Amino acid sequence: MSNNQWPELVLAEWQDTLATLHMWTQVIGKIRLELTPLVNHWWNVPLYVSARGLTTSPMAYRDRIFEIEFDFVDHRLRIECSDGAARHLELHPQTVADFYSKVMAALRELDIDVKIWTMPVEVPSPFSAVREAIRFEDDHIHKSYDAAHVNRFWHALVSLDDVFKDFRARFIGKVSPVHFWWGSFDHAVTRFSGRPAPPREGADMITQEAYSHEVISHGFWPGGNGVEAAFYAYAAPEPAGFGEARAKPAEAFYAKDVQEFFLPYDAVRKSASPETALMDFCQSTYEAGANLAAWDRKALER
């Protein structure tokens, strides 16, 4: 049983493309990071699902704004400015070094002068398809682009983005946008209790900012490092007993090594109602974490 709106994602079929796309999104994400003011928990840096792929949303530069969008329908990178100027780059098999060079050249042609730190972040990681961090300008290893699989990945994002937004709308406390983190290459939404969290021992500035307050987070990884696509849920700090909670649907499980609940994407895709299965996972894991951590649910939920 399958659902055309929830396409099959088999890691072995597109992991080289996944690794390349991860690095390309980091190039574009770092431009957004450089040109936008810091918003709490780094909410100024992610990308967002659009009607054609993934977008930065508008960014200000001097007396105009511009936007960069990965178009996964026609497979172009679209750089479009408020004064009508634009550059479109073809998305096809090419090295990260070539992609980075072409993007920066296109920006210069549009009189946009931006410099970024070219070292990838958050790689390698347990769920990353990228095995080592190589500066963008030196990365001649990652060069795959299977347009059909990228389009399939985007269709999955469109479907799960809609469920995450529905889940987000049920919460009236502080809650993140539904957004795509190009560092860890996951799509996520995070709820907050409203209480500060204890400082994480040994955490860097990035992590301290991200987890300055109590959270329960839900998201989706497309896979990597031998791990197939899956949804996840975690609480930070994790309350006692969270790992023993019963999560729905039945295919959900808790991984002690990373202290997160997981639900295989394939289990959602093959279910009678993928939307219901994913919402059950989000709601059951949220309720477990919120109850165990004594969140003020009456004040935080609709």
Rounded to the nearest 10 degrees, how much is the dihedral formed by the CA atoms of 23, 229, 156, 9?
A: 90
Give pLDDT, residue 126: 83
Residue type (1 letter), 91: L
Give pLDDT, residue 108: 98
Residue 111 Cα to chain centre, angstroms: 29
Give pLDDT, residue 2: 43
Give pLDDT, residue 3: 52
Residue 189 in contact with residue 181, Cβ under 8 Å?
no
Give pLDDT, residue 213: 96
Planar angle of CA 134, 9, 225, nearest 5 degrees: 35
Q: Tokens 């709820």 appear where?
A: 191
Q: Which residues of 14-41 are buried (b: 16+ CB within 10 A; e: fewer)?
A: bbbbbbbbbbbbbbbbbbbbebbeeeeb
Residue numbers of the chain with a pLDDT score lower than 70: 1-4
Give pLDDT, residue 163: 98
Give pLDDT, residue 4: 67
The pTM of this model reads 0.96
Tell me the C-alpha distance between 163 and 165, whole Å: 5
Q: Which residues of 286-302 are buried (b: 16+ CB within 10 A; e: fewer)?
A: bbbbbebbebeeeebee
Tokens coding 146:
């299977």
Give pLDDT, residue 206: 86
Q: Looking at beta carbons, which pairs linking 166-173 to residues 24 or more positions away fall under 8 Å?
A: 166/279, 167/218, 167/279, 167/282, 167/283, 169/302, 170/301, 170/302, 171/300, 171/301, 171/302, 172/300, 172/301, 172/302, 173/299, 173/300, 173/301
Tell me the Ramachandran region of residue 93: left when phi exceeds 0, alpha when psi lies from -120 to 50, beta otherwise. Answer: beta
Residue 283 in contact with residue 167, Cβ under 8 Å?
yes
Tokens coding 113:
């002068």
Q: Tokens 């649910």 appear where?
A: 297
Give pLDDT, residue 203: 84
